[in-house]
Amino acid sequence: MQWERLGPYRIERRIGRGGMGIVYSAVTDVTGERTAVKVLPTDGRDDGLSERFAAEIDSLRMLSHPNIVRILGYGEEQDCRYYVMELIDGLNLQELIDRGQPLLWQEATRIGVQVCRALKHAHDHGVIHRDIKPANLLLSRDGLVKLSDFGIAKTFGNSGLTADGGVIGTAEYMSPEQADGRPVTSRTDLYSLGGVLYALLAGRPPFRARNFVDMLQMQRFAEPEPLVRVVPTVPRALNDLVLHLLQKDPAKRYANGGEFGARLTRVYQQLKAQWDGIDRHEHFDTLRRLSFFHDFSQAEIHDLLRASEWREYMAGDEIIREGTADDRFYVIVTGRVSVESNGRGLGMLNSGDCFGETGYVSGARSISSFRAQDAVTVLSVSSTILEQVSTECQLRFNKVFLRTLIRRLQGANNRADPA
């Protein structure tokens, strides 16, 4: 059944479905705000779903944190129960994993730290999620992680929703104590977080099995293959942290999200300091090989590196969206970038090419979208920050920039002139 309206919310389209309801995008009548509405039809079949749905609403009402989806309202009408939450413009982490490209350790770590903050807040308010998995973690376009779907969450001291000995959760990320039907604690969510981090870094969950029963057995008894064997570029310190979360004995894991988040942050900072020293030399050598920088002196390249940002995108990521204002200029270091307008492909840019000149020169809105076609690395140069580098570097950059722009305009004219 498709609802046209629930309360003050006009239903648009279905955007998701789970074991306990359907999620639609919707628009609020009064403010025009776009929201997400989760609906549980009351069609005579219950199986405890109504109680769990009510418990999910109660859990979300108790929680208020930047890394947890915010509930906006709830109600019951037209043979259904529903609640309204903020709509996240982005994707879930499972969609990210399904692209088949493991995340860089830096990206996975930043995501992990945010999930830790969400879990600490939930646990401090007596809520155990019990179903931490990539599909329940939403990633907004600006990199903010939101924990969602508290449909099987349990509050401390309340065991009424699951019969003793019952198995509840998602098998690929389920803790051994859940697989055994034993009591859960905050450390249960941390085990599942370990599975999520493993999947982000390896491109797959810690265990693969032929069926549900085999997966439960692996969660109870099998040891995951070390990440450094699956993806050799994963730092050993991060490998050890993730495997520590995947300990079978809950007592051997970190005690809570706050403790693990602090440890993860320290390891990230230590690794970043080590890599930044290496990266500066590698970035310099890489830029020297690009045609855009052939006329730059060594001092000018170093100056430019200090005033720019090295950015990495995965296949399908939008680097610049059509109609948005961006004062940055981009040089493609590796990979391919497609140029699109009104959903139509206009061309392909490759290593050494540049884009973003419209916003860089005038601050005007982009007339095209630029999307990574595969793993892409770009040098991002802000017009504001460039003013802080040496005059020689600014002059050199602007000269090469204008020469590149002229060549692009000449190429466009030649394509337009059949003669």
- Of residues 134 and 8, more confidently modeled: 134
Are the CB atoms for 378 and 330 separated by under 8 Å? yes
> In Å, how far are 18, 143, 159, 161, 180 from 164, measured between CA atoms?
24, 39, 8, 10, 10
User: pLDDT tens-digit profile of 350-376?
Assistant: 888 888 877 666 656 778 888 998 888
Q: Are 173 and 196 in contact (CB under 8 A)?
A: yes
More confident residue, 102 or 324: 102
User: Domain check: are 148 and 178 in the same one?
Assistant: yes
Whichever domain contains 408, its CATH number is 2.60.120.10
More confident residue, 113 or 316: 113
- Of 222, 238, 269, the last residue of a domain is 269
Q: Check whether residue 207 and residue 189 sit in a common domain.
A: yes
CA distance 59 to 128: 9
Q: Is the pLDDT of residue 277 over 80?
A: no
Burial class (CB in 10 A: 0-12, 13-18, 19+), 16: middle
pLDDT score for 159? 40
Residue 161 has what pLDDT? 40
Categorize the per-residue pLDDT at 158 as very low, low, confident or very high, splitting at 50, 70 and 90. very low
Q: Is 131 noted as a catalytic residue in this protein? A: yes
**Residue 347 belongs to a domain:** yes
Asked if residue 354 and residue 261 are part of one domain, the reply reads no
Can you tell me the distance from the alpha carbon of 332 to that of 334, in angstroms, rounded to the nearest whole number? 6
pLDDT of residue 202 exceeding 90, the answer is: yes
- CB neighbourhood size of 274 (10 A): 12
The mean pLDDT of the chain is 83
Average pLDDT over residues 275-287: 72
Please give the DSSP secondary-structure letter assigned to residue 68.
B
Residue ending a domain, among 86, 104, 123, is 86
In this prediction, residues 169-177 reach a mean pLDDT of 87
378, 331 Cβ separation under 8 angstroms: yes
Q: What is the model's pLDDT at position 414?
A: 60
pTM: 0.66
Question: Long-range contacts: 170-174, Cβ < 8 Å, 24+?
Answer: 170/131, 170/133, 170/135, 171/209, 171/212, 171/215, 171/216, 171/219, 172/133, 172/199, 172/205, 172/207, 172/215, 173/131, 173/132, 173/133, 173/134, 173/199, 173/205, 174/215, 174/216, 174/219
Asked whether residue 282 is assigned to any structural domain, the reply reads no
Residues 66 and 124 in one domain: no
Which residues make beta-bridge pairs with 371? 318, 338
Q: Is the same domain home to 155 and 205?
A: yes
Residue 354 CB neighbour total at 10 angstroms: 22
Q: What is the DSSP track for 158-203?
A: --TTS-TT---S-GGG--HHHHHT----HHHHHHHHHHHHHHHHHS
- How large is the average pLDDT for residues 233-248? 94
Task: Give residues with Cβ within 8 angstroms of 366, minimum separation 6.
Answer: 320, 321, 322, 323, 324, 325, 326, 356, 358, 359
Question: What is residue 5's three-state secondary structure?
Answer: strand
Q: What's the rounded Cα separation, in Å, for the pair 277 and 247?
A: 33
Strand 318-320 relative to strand 337-341, pairing = unpaired
Q: Which residue out of 131, 149, 189, 317 is catalytically annotated? A: 131
pLDDT at residue number 47: 63
Using a 10 angstrom Cβ sphere, with 0-12 exposed, 13-18 middle and 19 or more buried, the burial of residue 286 is middle
**Whether residues 342 and 386 fall in one domain:** yes
For residue 172, name the pLDDT band (cuts at 50, 70, 90): very high
Q: Give 309's pLDDT tier (boundaries 50, 70, 90).
A: confident
Residue 300 sits in the same domain as residue 407: yes
Give domain status of residue 356, yes or no. yes
Q: Do residues 163 and 33 both lie within one domain?
A: no
Residue that is written with structure tokens 């004219």 in the block = 413
Mean pLDDT in residue range 70-78: 86
Whether 221 and 366 map to the same domain: the answer is no
Instruction: State both tokens at 393.
Output: 């570097």
User: Is the pLDDT higher at 29 or at 197?
Assistant: 197
Mean pLDDT for the stretch of residues 122-146? 90
Q: Which of 34, 55, 86 is the last residue of a domain?
A: 86
Please give the average per-residue pLDDT across 5-23, as a whole number: 83
User: Which of 235, 230, 228, 225 is CA-nearest to residue 264?
Assistant: 235
Q: Is 59 within the bounds of a domain?
A: yes
Could you tell me if 126 and 210 lie in one domain? yes
> Could you tell me if 107 and 251 lie in one domain?
yes
Residues 220 and 302 in one domain: no
Q: Which residue has the higher pLDDT, 398 or 198?
A: 198
Number of domains in the chain: 3
pLDDT at 195 over 50: yes
Segment (H or E) for 110: helix 105-124
For residue 49, pLDDT over 70 is answered with yes
Expressed as residue numbers, the domain containing 354 is 289-416
Amino acid (1-letter code) at residue 361? V
The whole-angstrom separation of Cα 276 and Cα 263 is: 20
Q: For the residues 262-284, what does the mean pLDDT come to?
A: 77
d(CA 116, CA 111): 9
Residue 278 lies in a domain: no
Stronger pLDDT, 152 or 258, i.e. the higher one: 258
**Mean pLDDT, range 381-394, rounded to an integer:** 74
